[in-house]
């Protein structure tokens, strides 16, 4: 398993990261431990979670994912061999079970969130602490146009960085990152850190897959290249769409059928199905499964720090990891770009 350094840090992570948001909802604690064991056997040293998980989020299960990882760490040991990442939820009035309806990226909430995550994870420190989504108004989770009418009071980036700096000094977190961020957000985080001598973001965890390539089309790739911020790509299979299982069988069991359509409407757009059919046909034409091609493409991108893969079975996880060894031909890459040119970012 190839490893890369994140940003300007000393964190050296596997190019495949184990995503865990199914732990506690689609996966039991025993199944979660089996996935973690298998991931380590395959050379993965990077685990990503969040205080919000599992998904879909609700008060009854919130924090279960971190608890499952914590019980595994306590039983297995080896914390020093792992890079553990988690996230603080951004403001969302409908998720009042997370420190009340006013939770945000201020000092009080950051400290409370970090301390709670440390307890659940049964560890003394977090290697990479990320802001799950911005405090300010920004289009995320399927919205793709900025709307100034949705402006809200947000916590200033400098204030957030100062609170994070305190937690770094105390040894509770080592490095920081952002998620679901924009080019402006990355630039502002870097600028405020440099002006005030505060911790610098090392990573950005954003949506990236064959149906959602805004990381390139918004010039986030250039920003991150010039500012040494590594991409952690989430949803590389578009909630399972790019495995083509829903194209092959509309009733296939998975997130897009067991949860209400309102949970992930962007992946149910007709154009996503249209693009998936074309990508699946291309993969099969070249002797690959649709999932193998979609993941191999992600793993190969020049700007990729690590790709976050999630699975509900060990067989799925094995296929996801195996794809890291596949090198796509120039012909396949050319055809992928041709499809993207005709059906551009339908899942963004």
Question: CA–CA separation, 121 vs 293, rounded Å?
Answer: 34
pTM score: 0.97
Q: What tens digit of pLDDT does each residue of 109-148 get?
A: 999 999 999 999 999 999 999 999 999 999 999 898 999 9
Residues in contact with 192: Cβ distance below 8 Å, sequence separation at least 6, in sequence order: 157, 158, 161, 198
Question: CA-CA distance, 274 to 151, in Å (whole number)?
Answer: 34
Q: Which one is catalytic: 53, 208, 279, 299?
A: 53
pLDDT (tens digit per residue) in 22-61: 999 999 999 999 999 999 999 999 999 999 999 999 999 9
Burial 331-348 (b: 16+ CB within 10 A, else e): ebeebbeebbeebebbbb
Q: Average pLDDT for residues 309-313, to the nearest whole number?
A: 96
The answer to whether 129 is a known catalytic residue is no
Mean pLDDT to the nearest integer, 259-274:
93
- Confidence band, pLDDT 50/70/90 cuts, at residue 75: very high
Structure tokens at 115: 């301390």
Output the CA torsion 294→298→301→305 (10° steps).
-170
Indicate the class that CATH gives domain 3-241+296-326: alpha beta
Token reading at 70: 């914590």
Question: Residue 73: which residues within 8 A CB-CB, separation 6 or more?
Answer: 79, 82, 121, 122, 123
End-to-end CA, the chain: 29
Render pLDDT for 147-172 as a digit per residue (tens, 0 to 9).
Answer: 999 999 999 999 999 999 999 999 99
Q: Where are the domains of the chain?
A: 3-241+296-326
């Amino acid at each position: 398993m190839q490893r890369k350094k994140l940003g300007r840090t000393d964190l050296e992570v596997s190019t495949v990261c184990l995503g865990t948001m199914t732990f506690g909802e689609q996966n039991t604690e025993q199944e979660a431990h089996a996935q973690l064991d298998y991931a380590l056997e395959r050379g993965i040293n990077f685990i990503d979670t969040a205080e919000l998980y599992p998904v879909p989020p609700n008060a009854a299960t919130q924090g279960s994912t971190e608890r499952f990882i914590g019980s595994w760490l306590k039983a297995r040991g080896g914390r020093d061999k792992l890079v553990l990442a988690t996230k603080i939820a951004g403001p969302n009035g409908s998720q009042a079970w997370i420190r009340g309806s006013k939770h945000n990226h201020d000092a009080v909430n950051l400290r409370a969130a970090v301390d709670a995550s440390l307890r659940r994870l049964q560890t003394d420190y977090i290697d990479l602490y990320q802001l799950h989504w911005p405090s300010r108004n920004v289009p995320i989770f399927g919205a793709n146009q900025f709307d100034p009418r949705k402006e809200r009071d947000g916590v200033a980036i400098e204030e957030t960085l100062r609170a994070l700096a305190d937690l770094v000094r105390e040894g509770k977190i080592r490095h920081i990152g952002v998620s679901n961020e924009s080019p402006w957000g990355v630039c502002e985080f870097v600028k405020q850190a440099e002006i005030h001598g505060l911790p610098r973001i090392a990573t950005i965890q954003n949506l990236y897959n064959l149906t959602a390539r805004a990381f390139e089309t918004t010039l986030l790739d250039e920003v991150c290249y010039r500012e040494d911020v590594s991409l952690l790509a989430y949803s590389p299979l578009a909630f399972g769409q790019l495995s083509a299982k829903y194209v092959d069988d509309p009733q296939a069991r998975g997130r897009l059928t067991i949860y209400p359509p309102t949970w992930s409407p962007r992946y149910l757009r007709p154009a996503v199905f249209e693009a998936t059919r074309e990508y699946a046909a291309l993969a099969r034409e070249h002797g690959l499964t649709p999932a193998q091609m979609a993941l191999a493409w992600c793993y190969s991108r020049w700007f990729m720090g690590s790709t976050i893969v999630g699975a509900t079975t060990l067989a799925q996880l094995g296929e996801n990891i195996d794809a890291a060894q596949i090198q796509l031909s120039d012909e396949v890459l050319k055809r992928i770009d041709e499809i993207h040119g005709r059906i551009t970012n339908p899942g963004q």
